[in-house]
């Protein structure tokens, strides 16, 4: 099986099994991969070939995007090898590739206790700042959502958030 056939097989599989956002994430990357390796047989692609390709595609991108592209390439090969019952090793399983494109893990965020949050809110200098902090702490709103609130969005203890980060038209938050 060549890479072009593998890409087409993988795209058909994705249409059935994954969300549209995942398909979109793979889209352009798979096209570049297909353009670069379309004449190659799946078994003939080496870890070095993939390393050079990923370096070119992810040059000047942040570490998490580089890791994502590596993971997508690895998923592609895993699927093609499994679906076509090839008896080969995934070239992405190379230790060098894994180390080069590994994800950076950040330390967990420190969560403030209720007393500390209350101190921060009560030490606010202006009423406006205190209201913004209260809405963020008590409703779980982001600063952008607080800044976009209008009086017409407030109904009792219910807040209607226009254009939230989730991409929906609106969401509802309740003041606790």
pLDDT computed for residue 147 by the predictor = 92
Mean per-residue pLDDT over the chain, rounded: 90
Q: What is the length of the chain? A: 176
With respect to residue 107, please indicate whether it lies within any of the assigned structural domains. no
pLDDT computed for residue 107 by the predictor = 81
Alpha carbon distance 171, 163 (integer Å)? 8
Per-residue pLDDT band at 115 (split at 50, 70, 90): very high
3-state secondary structure of 116: helix
Alpha carbon distance 145, 158 (integer Å)? 14
Per-residue pLDDT band at 59 (split at 50, 70, 90): confident
> Is pLDDT at 164 greater than 90 in this prediction?
no
80-103 pLDDT per residue, tens: 999 988 899 999 998 888 888 888
Say whether both 88 and 121 belong to one domain. Answer: no
Beta bridge partners of residue 161, listed in sequence order = 171
> Is pLDDT at 167 greater than 80 in this prediction?
no
pLDDT computed for residue 168 by the predictor = 80
pLDDT computed for residue 131 by the predictor = 93
Residue 120 sits at φ, ψ, to 5 deg, of: -65, -45
Token pair 């352009």 is found at 28
Domains: count for the chain: 2
Say whether both 22 and 77 belong to one domain. Answer: yes
**Considering the chain, what percentage of its residues have pLDDT values greater than 70?**
100
Contacts of 105-114 spanning 24+ positions with Cβ under 8 A: none
Say whether both 85 and 152 belong to one domain. Answer: no
With a threshold of 0.85, does the pTM exceed it?
no
Say whether both 83 and 167 belong to one domain. Answer: no
Say whether both 9 and 89 belong to one domain. Answer: yes
Distance of CA 71 to the CA centre of its chain: 12
17-56 pLDDT per residue, tens: 888 888 888 988 999 999 999 889 989 999 999 999 999 9
> Is pLDDT at 4 greater than 80 in this prediction?
yes
Q: In terms of Cα–Cα distance, which of 62, 57, 63, 60 is closest to 26? A: 57
Phi-psi map region of 19: left, alpha, beta (phi>0 left; psi -120 to 50 alpha): beta
Query: Residue 12 belongs to what domain range?
Result: 3-100
> Is pLDDT at 74 greater than 90 in this prediction?
yes
Q: What is the largest CA-CA distance in the chain?
A: 68
Alpha carbon distance 96, 25 (integer Å)? 25
């Amino acid at each position: 099986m060549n890479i072009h056939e593998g890409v087409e097989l993988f795209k058909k599989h994705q249409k059935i099994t994954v969300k549209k956002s995942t398909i979109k994430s793979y889209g352009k990357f798979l096209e570049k991969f297909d353009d670069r390796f379309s004449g190659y047989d799946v078994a003939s692609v080496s870890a070095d070939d993939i390393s050079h390709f990923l370096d070119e595609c992810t040059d000047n991108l942040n570490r998490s995007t580089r890791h994502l592209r590596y993971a997508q390439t690895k998923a592609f090969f895993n699927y093609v090898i499994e679906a076509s019952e090839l008896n080969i090793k995934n070239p992405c399983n190379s230790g060098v590739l894994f180390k080069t494109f590994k994800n950076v893990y950040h330390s967990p965020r420190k969560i403030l206790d209720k007393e500390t949050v209350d101190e921060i809110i009560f030490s606010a200098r202006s009423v406006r700042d205190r209201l913004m902090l209260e809405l963020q702490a008590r409703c779980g709103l982001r600063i952008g959502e607080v800044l976009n609130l209008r009086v017409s969005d407030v109904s009792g203890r219910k807040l209607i958030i226009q254009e939230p980060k989730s991409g929906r038209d609106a969401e509802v938050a309740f003041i606790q």
